[in-house]
Structure 1
């Protein structure tokens, strides 16, 4: 689970970080959930393995990209972190790279895949990823060097990761982000992971966050938070 690597602690770290948190756009598994109204046998279908975006999800990415271009955020973000699940990578590339006909004056931030920020793992095929060797071909824009295993060695067939485990993983991820030199970082991840991470930041590390920030993200929703150095003490 500690797949972020041994990043050394820098002596001169930023006094604050601005994180742009994005939940992936609608995936085909979300469509199944909306049809059934609750998680059931449909989510166990192997057809949902490493679920891609739905047509509506692709449109959501396009709309979010337009907003980011208009806001100038594309020139502000220094690094994009993405879950290595397909729906998250399609969202990350679609928003922060887009099509080849865009204005080439934009300075594209690098996109880095990390296992630690993927969705709650286990049981459902939609949360099991394809091999990295396969995904490198589909996503040449993404740096996969920090993903240690080619095949998915973290997904559990018999049970799902519990929420406490997700929260702990989220705090380890934030600590790793804090020790990086970039001040403005985008994270493209998943609803449960983002919500549990923010709740843990608020409840376990006493970082003040508005109630609206702690609610479940909509598909392709972007929220920004600023974390001040003086407001958080990372627990070992």
Structure 2
């Protein structure tokens, strides 16, 4: 049951953090207004769930600030019905936002505890018809489900894992925090067009490390 405090906090998050910082996509604003972020954080931190904060979710991982979730989602130009591969399910919050937008989400997590808890949360919220989760090395991608219209990597690494580029559909977009510094990266957006890759660079961010066969 959503309390008045949580409802007001979520509305404030959308208006003061997202809209004030340039998020204009109405579908994204609506999705983040609807998805209960407090359901995805540790119980002791629920009072901070709608603040402009990165919060720990266990196993050395974090849930990104709301503005970063919105920003990543907007950069990828989501459209209902597209197939998206998410690397790093974490607590499942970003997965839920993508599902709420009507994308078909394939999400990979390498940590068993996070994979299982995210699966339970998403099921309780009813995001089962358009989400599929897998416990695996995300840097290898999900070959049997490829190609993907969009790929979102929610951990930072030095390079884009080659299997993920191979699994990106033509006309597809791939977003990843990239940098040789394990603490700081830049968002890199790759466009695939007739086999050719072009790149856009966005602002500086700080994500957890991408661990795996093609990561750190």
Instruction: Using CA pairs under 8 Å that are at least 6 residues apart, name the structure with larger relative contact order, 1 or 2.
Output: 1
TM class, shorter-length:
0.3 to 0.5
Give the TM-score of the pair, scaled to structure 2: 0.39
Give the TM-score of the pair, scaled to structure 1: 0.36
> Which structure has the highest helix share of the two?
1
Larger Rg: 1
